[in-house]
Amino acid sequence: MLKAGKSSVLEALSGIQLPRGQSICTRCPLELRMKNTTADEYATIRNILFHECYTGITRNAVGDQPENIYENIVDLITNYIKKPTAIVLHVIPASEDFTNSESMKISKNYDPNGDRQLIVVSKIDKYDKGIGDKLQGIGPGSMALKLGCVAVLNRTPEQIEDDVPFYKMRQLEQQFFQLNKAFQLIPVEYLGCEQLIKRLVSIQQARIRSTLPGILDELKNQIKQKKSELKNMPPAVTSEMECWTLYSNLIKKYRDLIYARVHGVYDNDMQLKMEEPKKDSPNLHSSPSITQTTTDEFDDRIAFQLHKEHKAFAKEISQSFSQFFTLKYRNYVLKLLEENAGVALPNFPSFNIIERLYHHEHQNFREPCEHLIESCVTYLKDVLIKLLNQIFDKEATYKNHMIHKLTDIIFRALDESEEHCNNDITKMLKIEKR
């Protein structure tokens, strides 16, 4: 595909001469957009037709080119030709076998039936025998494409150097096809740049007619979606008073939601889940347990969760103390009573005994209390931030900024409360130890 005449074809289509230099072919993709307007200004929606011209498919890296240059170029081309609305225009020299073209092989992966491919046969002055059948998709080396083939005559290096104008080149092209016997029996629609332009315009009109209804439907759906999103957006905040009112309302909703969760008022999305006893359970008469679950992954039932934390705390406390109802503990108490005989009236144990029994358990209080405080603070941080995001979900203007600030305030308040609780526990344990 290198030096196949792709840039020359674009020049003939557009009438614009591209930059050239010594031993230089096109080394970057070109995009040619066709705009038709009689006014000074035009809308971008009128970008109806455009052509993409890519660099030749290079297999071997040269100089400072990347080693994967072939893959890069193929990926670039594939990104466009895989679209079902794209028309692939192959530029192949007349002397080459169309079926061996690299671009034909790539396009076959995305258009196996050849419904949206067109061949431009360049350098037609170097044609081989049987060019007429080849252009019409007949015989070896040809491709029977739905959009067909068109042969064009490129400007020679001498004509380019002499700056032969494009209109003059089209006259020479017409004379070439008329004077060469190999082209005299070929239908005129296969020959010349003028026929190529007509073919492209006809193809583009057909594509517009076939794709425009779908585009209009997609635009209608997008407009409907955007209108729905716009309708759901909150009103714009245009003054400091409106901003303060909005903030106050959001904070009030947040406080009311927390108040409801703390006092056991929950959403209607909760459901009762019955857990039947297992069949292999030894207790066949046990009743099914009832647990409440929410559809959310995180449970925001604050009162219920704090109650569970306190139940776990009570269990941990009971497991931390000595086993009061064991024979070993009974013997220990009897030993203390015997040691303090005569200090108090019979059947009235000395207060000293109560203190000794308590001091033995005193050290077991701190750890369960600290665990309770830590677990409650961790849960409250999570649930309060979740409820905060729930309230501010539809506030688009200052949402992130306010959530960030309020999160800092919530965390700071909970950290201070945790510190106060730990200090109070320390004070109470010191008082009880006296």
List all residues 6 or more positions away from 429 whose beta carbon is below 8 Å from its beta carbon.
362, 365, 366
Find out whether 154 and 123 touch, Cβ atoms under 8 Å: yes
Q: Does 412 lie in the same domain as 310?
A: yes
CATH value at residue 20: 3.40.50.300
Exposure class string for 52-88: b at 16+ Cβ within 10 A, else e: bbbbbbeeeeeeeeeeebbeebbeebeeebeeeebbb
Is residue 209 domain-shared with residue 245, that is, in the same domain?
no
Residues 161 and 293 both lie in one domain: no
6-40 pLDDT, tens digit each = 777 777 776 666 666 555 555 556 666 666 666 55
Residue 326 lies in a domain: no
Question: Which helix (H) or strand (E) element contains residue 212?
Answer: helix 193-232
Question: Are 7 and 156 within 8 A, CB to CB?
Answer: no
| Same domain? 26 vs 153 | yes
pLDDT at 410: 92
273 and 196 in a common domain: no
Residue 167 lies in a domain: yes
Find which of 196-200, 278-282, 355-359, 416-420 is predicted with most confidence, using mean pLDDT: 416-420
Question: In this structure, is residue 221 part of a structural domain?
Answer: no
Q: How far apart are CA 315 and CA 309, in angstroms?
A: 10
Specify whether 186 is located in the same domain as 250: no
303 and 245 co-located in one domain: yes
Residue 330 domain flag: no
Q: How much is the pLDDT for 360?
A: 75
214, 248, 274 — which closes off a domain?
A: 214
Number of domains, the chain: 2
Q: Which residues contact 76 (CB under 8 A, 6 or more apart)?
A: 29, 54
Q: Are residues 204 and 286 in the same domain?
A: no
pLDDT of 79 higher than 50: yes
Q: Please count the residues of the chain.
A: 434
Query: Does residue 282 carry a pLDDT above 50?
Result: no
Domain assignment present for 91: yes
With bands split at pLDDT 50, 70 and 90, how would you rate the model's confidence at 84? confident
Q: Which domain, by its residues, includes 402? A: 240-321+364-433
Identify whether residues 164 and 104 lie together within a single domain: yes
What is the model's pLDDT at position 419?
93
Answer yes or no: is 163 within a domain: yes
Assess whether 125 and 263 both reside in one domain: no
- pLDDT at position 192, please? 87
Q: In terms of domains, do 178 and 293 share one?
A: no
Residues of the chain with pLDDT > 70: what percent?
77
- The whole model's pTM is what? 0.49
What are the Cα distances from residue 397, in Å, to 19, 174, 239, 384, 405?
A: 50, 65, 13, 21, 15
Residue 223 domain flag? no
Is 117:147 a contact under the CB 8 Å cutoff? Answer: yes
**142-201 tens-digit pLDDT:** 888 888 899 888 887 788 778 788 888 888 888 888 888 888 888 888 898 888 888 888
Is the residue at 341 inside a domain? no
54 and 134 assigned to the same domain = yes
For residue 286, what pLDDT band results from cuts at 50, 70 and 90?
A: very low
